[in-house]
Amino acid sequence: MIKHIVFFKLKDRSPESIAATVAVLQNMEGKIPQLISIEVGTDVVRSERSFDIALVTVVASLEDLQAYQVHPAHKEVIAHINEVKEVSYAVDYEI
């Protein structure tokens, strides 16, 4: 199994902007068959070094991770993220 974690820092770090992006990310739930689980969390510390949002997903294999990456629902998320993010970082590892 593969755990896919992405951290997002938004250009607009207001609660409204963060909530809107969280909603976009959560909208993938139930739409991408390869996703075994999806969790979206917002930072509670809000320090300068903090990221605003964390996305944690689990898929069964690298092949499923690739299918997730190109799924139309994920591509909609990417389009939104590309508009609102300042920076993002990801890590993918076997569990």
**pLDDT (tens digit per residue) in 24-83:** 999 999 999 999 999 999 999 999 899 999 999 999 999 999 999 999 999 999 999 999
Q: Give the pTM.
A: 0.94
> Which helix (H) or strand (E) covers residue 88, if one does?
strand 85-94
Q: In sequence order, which residues have a C-beta less than 8 Å from that of residue 15 and are 6 or more positions away?
A: none
> Tell me, what's the pLDDT at 80?
98
Q: Cβ distance 88 to 7 under 8 Å?
A: yes
Quick: pLDDT tens for 30-46: 999 999 999 999 999 99
Residue 25 contacts residue 53 (beta carbons within 8 Å): yes
Mean model confidence pLDDT for the chain: 97
Q: What is the pLDDT of residue 18?
A: 98
